[in-house]
Amino acid sequence: MEIINYTEEHRIFRDTLRKYLEKEVIPYVEEWEEAGITPKSAWKKLGEQGFLCMDIPEEYGGLGADFLYSVIMAEEMTRTNHSGLCTALHSDIVVPYISAFGSEELKHKYLPGCVSGDIIAAVAMTEPNTGSDLAAIKTTAVEDGDDVIINGQKTFISNGINCGVVVVAAKDPEVKSPYAAVDLYVVEDGTPGFEKGKQIKKIGWHSQDTAELYFTDCRVPKKNRLGAKGTGFLHLMEKLQQERLMCAIGAVAAAEYMLEITIDYCKERTAFGKPISKFQNSQFKIVEMATDVKLGRTFMDKLIVEHMEGKNVVIDVSMAKYWTTDMACRVADECVQLHGGYGYCEEYPIARAWRDIRVTRIFAGTNEIMKQIAARFMGL
């Protein structure tokens, strides 16, 4: 029995989406990888097809779709074997901060553009000296009349160049508690004092515009704060469950994709007069990987169902984030090995998949932090 009950509508959506990606995305991936960024027009096309922020209610321009549409989107985007159109980040990680905690004014102002693809969203938490420890951020937000003045620097910000809005985590220096001091603010591109720095060159994720962001006396209306004052840290913690679940979904989908293309390669490639797939070592390696992938899929699907039921699965999601991304990296390495020398060549898709999967053990909280979170909740 399947854990997730996909409807016929879900299956039709997956088929429609896969056909769209085969026509409108995959043929351009190499071009985007070379350019080091994905054009905004590609986001706009996704929005026109209704593929962005599908859970947003109709009154704000969305479809009001269930979370399974986001799952399907994340899985199918992973199969395009590129990271430039990081729709899960936009639709399922950043925009939910606005839809869940923004005022009606903010939601009507920004959500329709996020749905249409006219606005690309980013979230700015990480700083040069602060990664997974969000309570230690240095960026400040000082109140001044009806505004707040933001000063600080953020780094490793995905969608940093393309973003039209960024959700910024900043701290009120007057508040003593490092947790109660944190708030989230929506900052528009073009706001005086908000500057996009250099695009960061990375080992992988070449078509993803990861950048440094600078805020120098950046004046933002207080009404751009998400939620009541002092609730930013709690909002971050609340939404990190879905963020880390999306990481696990992407990791499992990537492992499935890498295994699939490697099996095809092993069946076609010959050595000593027979396909590589006929060698016992190859068979054992493939079976071991297939077992890991199935375990990851089962764990992840269970968490998807529980997440949709509104359950608190912070511990299990933390475990899933670290285990699935570790597993996907193991699969990537074994798949490159089975490809032999060709696995290290850019013309073979496994090379990019191997390069791109590594960062998943770092972002959304390092895997070491995931274990620490689980240990704390276990009372260790």
Cα separation, 236 vs 314, in Å, equals: 13
Tokens describing residue 378: 């276990």
- pLDDT of 2: 84
What residues are annotated to the active site? 243
- pLDDT of 14: 98
Angle CA(231)–CA(235)–CA(238) in degrees, nearest 5? 140
How would DSSP label each residue in 141-169? EEEETTEEEEEEEEEEETTTTT-SEEEEE
Angle between helices 349-357 and 314-339 (to 10 degrees): 150
Q: Tens-of-pLDDT digits for all 380 residues of the chain?
A: 689 999 999 999 999 999 999 999 999 999 999 999 999 999 999 999 999 999 999 999 999 999 999 999 999 999 999 999 999 999 999 999 999 999 999 999 999 999 999 999 999 999 998 766 777 899 999 999 999 999 999 999 999 999 999 999 999 999 988 889 999 999 999 999 999 999 999 999 999 999 999 999 999 999 999 999 999 999 988 898 999 999 999 999 999 999 999 999 999 999 999 999 999 999 999 999 999 999 999 999 999 999 999 999 999 999 999 999 999 999 999 999 999 999 999 999 999 999 999 999 999 889 999 999 999 988 88
- pLDDT of 1: 66
- pLDDT of 176: 86
Distances from the Cα of 191 to the Cαs of 98, 104, 149, 334, 361, in angstroms? 18, 21, 12, 47, 33
- pLDDT of 132: 66
Contacts of 173 (CB under 8 A, 6+ apart): 140, 142, 181
pTM of the model: 0.94
Contact in structure between 222 and 294 (CB atoms under 8 Å): no
